[in-house]
A = this chain, B = another copy of it.
Amino acid sequence: MALRQGSKQRFLGWEVGQMRTAPGGNGRSRAKRPTMIDVAREAGVALRTVSRVVNNDPTVGPDYVARVQSAIKALNFRPDERARQLRTGVSDTIGAAVRRIAETNPALAAIEQTARAAGLTLLASSTDFDEQREHDILISMCRQRLDGVIVEPIGESHSYLESELAAGMPLVAMDRPMSGVSVDTVMSDNAGGIGMAFHHLRKHGHKRVAYIGDDERVFSGHERAAAFRACLLAHGGPTDGLIHPGELTAERVGAALDAALHGPDPATALVTGNMDTTLAVLRRLGPEAARLPIVGFDDVPLADLLSPALTVVAQDTARIGATAVELLRARIADPARPVQSVVVPVSMTIRGSGEIRP
């Protein structure tokens, strides 16, 4: 269990702290996997019979089943999934091209769970917010003949997918619509969420509420900023100095904060347009954040441990993911069905930061 050994060594170009090589050099050699033919020979039956047993075909005599199964065990046979897929045409696998796997992403978790429940394998890849990577991943998924693909679109133009759609690739867009192609889509109710945040702060006595959010070139950034503007206008209030969409850099967010809070007619409360904006604002304000009423769009990990705990508009990410899979399965089952868009409601989680009065 303990693998202690003092000195540093080089390994594959990495310097590693400690390393051990098993005594006796007990490496393995690559053996060839047995095929169905080998199993058939071992069991003394025909290839077809082995195939039937593997696929639980009930029309096989019990004695044959036993013979074949013991041969499978003896040879340690595992059917080659690729060959089955090639022959049958289906892959029972769906792809997900999301911004980042390996980062908290309840939608992806829901996709995995829903897919698993439907007997589908999930192949997830990170686009890393990179248009070229998104393109490469989607093309690669087409080549793998996945049964369908869910994508959080990044790029502007997706017209290169037209031919894939025409070739029958089922595709669902998540969180954002895709431009240039007509596909099933599932998104959050961005405008509704901004409305909830705004009215929550109004209800707590704030006459001037400011918004800081993502760049308007990003779809959700645009939708949320526009919704906030609509809120202000609907209340007959001024909009000047209160709406700050833009790049997600510390400088830009800092400037927006200054403009919103330290101008001639400062805002007394803040709506932040997404998780990264929320975190940038909190980091910028430091301890000062404790006194500023904030409602964030998107839930934040550990939001309950901050002081005050953070009130947020939370997306129903689990439902978004599950719906994406269901839309995809429906499309796979019936490629001719009408294209559909689903908008998932958001909800508010009240924790303290949004309930501070002026």
Contact = CB atoms under 8 A, between A and B. Distances in A.
Interface string A26-40: 111111110000000
Copies in the complex: 2
B102 A26 contact: no
A352 interface: no
A326 to B, nearest CB: 5
Nearest to A340: B21
Contacts of A177: 1
Interface in A81-108: 81-83, 85-86, 91, 100-108
Given A26-B182, A108-B102, A21 B338 contact: yes
Interface residues of A, number: 98
A351 B122 CA distance: 39
A20 interface: yes
A233 interface: no
A18 interface: yes
Contact of A91 (B22, B30, B82): B82
B16 A342 contact: yes
A67 interface: no
Interface string A293-307: 000000011101111
Contact of A82 (B19, B85, B337): B85
A208 to B, nearest CB: 26
Interface stretch (A55-63, A138-146, A260-268): A138-146
Contact of A20 (B112, B223, B340): B340
Given A12-B330, A20-B341, A86-B80, A126 B145 contact: no
A159 to B, nearest CB: 13
Interface in A313-358: 319, 322-323, 326-327, 330, 334-345
A352 B82 CA distance: 54
Nearest to A343: B18
Given A33-B168, A102-B108, A339 B182 contact: no
Interface of A: 1-4, 11-14, 16-22, 25-33, 76, 78-83, 85-86, 91, 100-109, 112, 121-126, 139-140, 142-145, 163-168, 177, 182, 189, 191-192, 223, 279, 282-283, 287, 300-302, 304-307, 319, 322-323, 326-327, 330, 334-345
25 contacts: A17-B343, A18-B342, A19-B342, A21-B338, A21-B339, A22-B182, A22-B341, A26-B339, A27-B335, A27-B336, A27-B339, A28-B336, A30-B168, A30-B335, A31-B168, A78-B139, A78-B142, A78-B164, A80-B143, A101-B112, A101-B124, A103-B103, A112-B126, A121-B123, A302-B302
